[in-house]
Chain A
């Protein structure tokens, strides 16, 4: 558990509560392959939708039309290289978050998807070896504080933490609250 330093403000406590909630997550694995692109995650025809819960109904529809129905809240996507390549559409990150995906583990992420996910407050873990070892339907636990993925077979994989600056955005709960805070300050 992270605890506020003495004299921490109410806001600090709220922030830490959010981070603690994120500190460790456990979920069922949904495995995907390499180069999962944004057209597969969120087909272009749905772009005019601006309501996030409605976006969630089409998450990964291009991969499997039944996918949105199969997602359970707290599921973890484990994918190969270059996850989220293609369009800059932020809806690709938003729809996964609102569909209930707790975290995405991938060998690598495309640049814009990575930014969009952080800005939306969707947790990402980059690990070169874990996606090859983790199996579909397994349950895994991801500990953000220690930077470790543990599978139900007790296999462990370490991952590097996010840079401090990005943690700052996550701590504020996404880019919009972060900007609001900096404008006030």
Chain B
């Protein structure tokens, strides 16, 4: 038996793939021997290429640009170039396949440069909200102001599932419409702070078993909205309702989502349907590059300050612009989450390469992104430039009472809260941990840290952030909503002031109606915790 030469072995491998079948083709050579030859000749085990030649060729002919084509696959510009080289696709295509359908977001400077383009088939002057609600109602179009009956892709409830169950029983239906469409994480009073809550939690645990609701996350998991994103319960172009006002957060993935009441949720559980009014849309374009020490939280607080707490009432808000294009999914989450505080029904950052990259790195499902038509009608448009923005603080007792941190410097603070669905993710903890490294929390300040979820908690532990917080003198609490809604873990006494990275500063929100809550970014929170008074992290 003559040992095949290297070229011959590679050819055989292309044809027969596995060592076993190569052996058989050579007339009964055992598998291990073929493997031995392979190793001697330095030939790797056969594996299917990650992207087929057809896929790479198609994308290359579609875009003729490594960066844009790479973004489709969630890989870098040079990554796509390597694949192109492997398949010997070195010439630039003469005619781009989708050239005639490609366009740049109007009014967005540098959009084509950063590759934020939309490829959309057919145009009909419809906004994202109109299109999705029409799709979910089984119609071709939805008119503004029309009331449509739609089936959401996701129905999320937290501890208030207890109230939903009570209402669901009243309807008298035996089974929920679709156990897989329901997600229930327990987060608001977790672990139970009272006997009443314990009873409600117990009823929820019994109910999910009885109804075979698989996506139930007990108190160990963390804040509902972050859990929904982490566990991939929502995808771009989907519709979600949740019995929590901050359900708007899922717009960070290009989904439309909104908060509803418990009774309505009971009706969704029973019928799978809900009525929604087709909202008008606002277009908010955020230009510029955020200065160092300024974060998405500062941007959205500033916008709420300008638009007021009623500024986006009943509206679907779409975010565009250079600053948004650069924001991570976590930052976009903060943007969409707080949009609720100006009354938004939906808040969404349209699907782009950041979304695509994020989804390719997580256990995503198949999805169909959704975009507003180029000529869609927006009720109003707003443009902001954030390149000279300074950190912002929302002062008591309304979220639109926003002032630059320089004006609030020196305000004495008793408690600092770092966490919540707004700012409890890894990047938030990182910003604060960096500032607190080797420093101490002011002796008159109680600093509470709540990682948003168990996953974030674990990551923060591995990265050493928790150690930093502990050594600085902060109290690390379990993942959950904690003090944000004044339920437990850090209630405020009369006359006390709290600076929190949370989302509401209403009177009495965190305890006594005589206490005060200031909202700011994790950077401001860390600087404040060290100084004992509101401090500017950029100075």
Contact = CB atoms under 8 A, between A and B. Distances in A.
A115 B398 CA distance: 22
A26 interface: no
B165 to A, nearest CB: 10
Interface stretch (A38-46, A70-78, A134-142): A38-46
Q: Report which residue of B147, B162, B189, B261 has the largest number of chain A beta carbons within 10 angstroms of its beta carbon.
A: B261
A159 B485 CA distance: 35
B150 to A, nearest CB: 13
B415 interface: no
Contact of B271 (A39, A108, A179): A179
Given A48-B197, A81-B310, A119-B264, A37 B160 contact: no
B259 to A, nearest CB: 4
Given A39-B509, A48-B189, 12 more contacts: A37-B506, A39-B485, A47-B188, A47-B485, A48-B200, A62-B507, A62-B513, A85-B309, A87-B504, A90-B160, A90-B261, A112-B261
Contacts of A108: 310, 313
B161 to A, nearest CB: 12
Closest 5 CB pairs of A and B: A48-B196, A90-B261, A116-B261, A39-B506, A88-B259
A88 B243 contact: yes
Interface string B249-276: 0000000001111111011001100010
Contact of B314 (A50, A90, A111, A163): A111
B343 interface: yes
A110 B516 CA distance: 23
B313 A111 contact: yes
Interface stretch (B61-69, B170-178, B372-380): B170-178
11 contacts: A37-B506, A40-B506, A47-B188, A81-B310, A87-B244, A111-B345, A112-B245, A174-B263, A175-B263, A176-B171, A183-B173
A35 B401 CA distance: 12
B134 interface: no
Contacts of B509: 39, 44
B167 interface: yes
B80 to A, nearest CB: 43
A162 to B, nearest CB: 11
A165 B508 CA distance: 36
Interface in B136-168: 147, 159-160, 162-163, 166-167
B172 A88 contact: no
Nearest to A112: B259
Interface of A: 35, 37, 39-40, 43-45, 47-50, 62, 65, 81-82, 85-90, 93, 108, 110-112, 115-116, 119-120, 163, 165, 174-176, 179-180, 182-183
Contact of B506 (A50, A86, A182): A86
A112 B261 CA distance: 7
Interface residues of B, number: 50
Interface in B448-496: 485-487
Contact of A180 (B147, B172, B244, B259): B172
Contact of B200 (A37, A50, A65, A87): A50
A163 to B, nearest CB: 6
A163 B147 contact: yes
Contacts of A89: 160, 261
Nearest to A180: B171
A49 B506 CA distance: 21
Interface of B: 147, 159-160, 162-163, 166-167, 170-173, 188-189, 194, 196-197, 200, 242-245, 247, 258-264, 266-267, 270-271, 275, 309-310, 313-314, 343, 345, 398, 485-487, 504, 506-509, 513
A110 B341 CA distance: 10
Nearest to B315: A111
Contacts of B259: 88, 112
Contact of A115 (B166, B264, B504): B264
B310 A86 contact: no
Contacts of B398: 35
Contacts of A86: 245, 504, 506
B487 A45 contact: yes
A176 B309 contact: no
Contacts of B147: 163, 165
Contact of B166 (A48, A50, A110, A175): A50
B24 to A, nearest CB: 63
B163 A90 contact: yes
Q: Report which residue of A43, A81, A82, A88 has the largest number of chain B beta carbons within 10 angstroms of its beta carbon.
A: A88
A43 B508 contact: yes
B499 to A, nearest CB: 18
Nearest to B310: A82
A175 B173 CA distance: 14
Nearest to A92: B261
Contact of A44 (B200, B262, B263, B486): B486
A40 B506 CA distance: 8
B487 A119 contact: no
A88 B166 contact: no
Given A39-B509, A49-B196, A88 B266 contact: no
Q: Report which residue of B170, B263, B504 has the largest number of chain A beta carbons within 10 angstroms of its beta carbon.
A: B263
B339 to A, nearest CB: 12
A116 B172 contact: no
Contacts of B188: 47
A119 B274 CA distance: 12
A43 B171 contact: no
A78 B485 CA distance: 27
A40 B507 contact: yes
Contacts of B264: 115-116, 119, 175
Nearest to B247: A88
